[in-house]
């Protein structure tokens, strides 16, 4: 992973030259709970200016990076970061809490993150992810492997949103996913067993005890806990 990241940063430096202000690693790899073949290497690329030519020139290095299974980084100009932090508080709080500068300056240092839109974004993102989870369940429901992958893959996204939910309750969220889930279970009065089972699937690749019946039952329990968090967030909003 380190070699792939270093090679990619070298490609970015070659591609963008002096226009490249900084590259920030955030998410699981920065928080210390990265799982090979399960977690993503999330990067923020900050340029002094962004033009179609700059993005087009990045095609070659992005093609190799995505071929290795990594997502395309998010691109911002340095000047955009402050205003974007107001609109995307969840993402920028995540970057603020768990980040590593892999090139250039720490473009996120001293960022003023407004929480004016935090509740709205949290509920919107949770409901959107739940809708997508239900849609994805339809084709996955007939396969134990498909269900295991769906639950494992989605847990990371929900953990990130649970961090925001804890902030709305005035609770300082931990950085690691396990700790975030544990505190969310406690603060929202959830059943933690479905999350523990999905962590086991995620971290040990597969749970051999799962069959079609138990996998579908686990999904139902998982979805129920997510719905409880959404209901609690909606109650916080007073809507």
Domain ranges of the chain: 2-104, 118-237
Distances (CA, A) of 97 to 25, 90, 174: 11, 11, 9
Say which range, 9-18, 108-117, 126-135, 145-154, has the weakest mean pLDDT: 108-117
Query: What is the rounded average pLDDT for all residues in the chain?
Result: 91
37: left (phi over 0), alpha (psi -120 to 50) or beta: left
Q: Is 2-104 a domain of CATH 3.50.50.60?
A: no
* Span 190-222, pLDDT tens digits: 999 999 999 999 888 665 678 999 999 999 999
In this prediction, residue 86 has a pLDDT band, given cuts at 50, 70 and 90, of confident
Residue 206 has what pLDDT? 60
Taking the CA of residue 124 as centre, how many other CA atoms within 13 Å lie in the half-sphere pointing to its CB? Answer: 9
What fold is seen in the domain 118-237? 1.20.120
Confidence of residue 38 (pLDDT cuts 50, 70, 90): low
Q: How much is the pLDDT for 37?
A: 64
| Type and span of the H or E element at 155 | helix 144-168
Residue 216 corresponds to which tokens in the numbers above?
A: 């579908």
pTM more than 0.85 = no
97-124: pLDDT as tens digits:
889 999 999 999 988 888 888 999 999 9
Q: Is the predicted pLDDT of residue 13 greater than 50, yes or no?
A: yes
10 Å CB burial of residue 117 (0-12, 13-18, 19+) is middle
Q: Is residue 179 scored above 70 in pLDDT?
A: yes
What the block records as the tokens of 224 is 């129920």
Q: Which residues of 91-113 are buried (b: 16+ CB within 10 A; e: fewer)?
A: bbbbbeebbeebbbeebbeeeeb
Task: Give one DSSP letter per residue of 169-187, joined into a string.
Answer: TT-PPPSSHHHHHHHHHHH
Look at residue 167 in the predicted model and tell me its pLDDT. Answer: 93
Strand (E) or helix (H) holding 107: none
**Percent above pLDDT 90 for the chain:** 71
Furthest CA-CA distance within the chain: 57
pLDDT band at 94 (very low <50, low <70, confident <90, very high): confident
């Amino acid at each position: 992973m380190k070699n792939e990241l270093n090679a990619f940063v070298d490609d970015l430096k070659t591609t963008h030259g002096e226009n490249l202000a900084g590259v920030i690693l955030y998410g699981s790899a920065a928080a210390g709970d990265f799982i090979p073949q399960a977690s993503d290497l999330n990067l923020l690329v900050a340029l002094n200016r962004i033009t179609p030519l700059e993005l087009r020139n990045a095609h070659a290095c992005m093609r190799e990076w995505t071929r290795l299974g990594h997502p395309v980084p998010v691109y911002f100009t340095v000047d955009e970061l402050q205003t974007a932090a107001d609109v995307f508080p969840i993402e920028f709080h995540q970057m603020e809490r768990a980040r590593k500068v892999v090139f250039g300056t720490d473009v996120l240092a001293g960022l003023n993150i407004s929480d004016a839109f935090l509740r709205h974004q949290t509920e919107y993102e949770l409901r959107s992810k739940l809708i997508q989870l239900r849609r994805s369940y339809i084709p996955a429901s007939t396969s134990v492997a498909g269900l295991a992958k769906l639950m494992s893959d989605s847990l990371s996204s929900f953990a990130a949103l649970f961090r925001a939910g804890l902030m709305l309750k005035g609770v300082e969220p931990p950085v690691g996913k396990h700790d975030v889930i544990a505190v969310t279970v406690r603060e929202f009065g959830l059943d933690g067993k479905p999350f523990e089972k999905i962590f086991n699937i995620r971290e040990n690749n597969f749970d051999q005890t799962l069959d079609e019946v138990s996998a579908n039952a686990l999904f139902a329990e998982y979805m129920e806990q997510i719905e409880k968090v959404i209901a609690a967030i909606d109650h916080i909003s007073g809507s």
